[in-house]
Amino acid sequence: MEDKRKSKAAPIAGANDRVCEHLSFAAKEAFKRLRTNVMLKFPEGDPECRIIGVTSAQPSEGKSTISLNLSYSLAELGKNVLLIDSDMRRPSIHIKARVEKEPGLADLLGSSNAIASSVRKYQSSKNETCFDIIPGGNIPPNPSELLTSKRMETLLKTLRSAYDYIILDLPPVGAVIDAISISKQTDGMIVVLRENNCPVGIFRDCVAQIQEANVPILGFVINGALEGAGKKYGYGSKYGYSSYGSYYGSYYK
């Protein structure tokens, strides 16, 4: 499978390039801290492939942004990483990473296509960092059924043998049951919370649902949070990732 994983297409013009190697220094540092925290959750020298789900209570909290940047950050260390856009209702990894959207996960789950046909490569601009991406694909009428299908389980089992980390960019927990169902096949979940965005009750509900499913919560990412004396890092002065280090894992039970 290794040699068949080739880039499928040229970058898509006009896509969001404020990710991965294009992030600010402070944002990159925040993702390095997130990476370290994630790696510490598993035994040192862990030979197992770890499947990590990224979810949130609501849409637009930053799941896809964080999934993509975490994948990049792990790949920077030489880890063999696969990012799967598992939010088939609102796939966005293909836009952020500038890869072709189709065929992708939906096509893999809905047909007998070879896995390699849906795998793209994220290659950094200086060709220093590289990881694999399975984009969302053709949006299906039944994303819940596909994501929670036996086929998805089998796909993840197969992919485990080829990677160190598989990052699943999941739908939000609040909207549909997909994220909770698939979370049982992960080694743990990261829950993203965008600052000043999510009502406390909805967030608590999200956490409770994951806990009820008995899936480990690896930690929380506060996206866009303040750091230090009210200073914000990240894209210009508006956003920040810099509180990952301090918040990440602090709610871990």
Sites of contact with ligand ADP (CB under 6 A): 16, 56, 59-65, 92, 223-224, 234-235, 239, 241
Q: Which does 224 bind (CB under 5 to 8 A by kind): ligand ADP, Mg ion, none?
A: ligand ADP
What CA–CA distances, in Å, run from 149 to 15, 143, 152, 184? 31, 10, 5, 12
Residue 59 interaction partner, one of ligand ADP, Mg ion, none, beta carbon < 5-8 Å per kind? ligand ADP
| CA–CA separation, 15 and 36 (whole Å) | 29
Shortest distance (Å) from residue 236 CB to ligand ADP: 9
- Compare residues 223 and 242 and give the one whose CB is closer to Mg ion: 223
Closest distance to Mg ion from the beta carbon of 56 (Å): 9
Please answer whether residues 51 and 168 qualify as being in contact, where contact means their C-beta atoms are separated by less than 8 angstroms: yes
CB of 239 to ligand ADP, least distance (A): 3
Picking from 31, 12, 11, the residue whose alpha carbon sits closest to that of residue 20 is: 31
For ligand ADP, give the closer residue by CB, 61 or 227.
Answer: 61
In the complex, the smallest distance separating the C-beta of residue 90 from Mg ion, rounded to whole angstroms, is: 6
When the beta carbons of 1 and 15 are compared against ligand ADP, the nearer one is 15
Please choose which of ligand ADP, Mg ion, none residue 65 contacts, taking the beta carbon within 5 to 8 angstroms, the exact cut-off set by kind.
ligand ADP
Q: Of the two residues 63 and 94, which places its CB atom closer to ligand ADP in the complex?
A: 63
Q: Which is nearer to Mg ion, 164 or 221 (CB)?
A: 221
In whole angstroms, how close is the CB of 87 to Mg ion at the nearest point?
5
187 binds, among ligand ADP, Mg ion, none (CB under 5 to 8 A by kind): none
Residue 56 Cβ vs ligand ADP, minimum distance, rounded to whole Å: 5
Q: Which residues contact 150 (CB under 8 A, 6 or more apart)?
A: none
Backbone angles phi, psi at 66, to 5 degrees: -70, -40
The dihedral built from the CA positions of residue 38, 161, 54 and 117, taken in this order, carries a sign that is positive
Residues in contact with Mg ion by CB under 5 A are 63-64, 87, 92
Which of the choices Mg ion, ligand ADP, none does residue 199 contact, using the CB cut-off of 5 to 8 A by kind? none
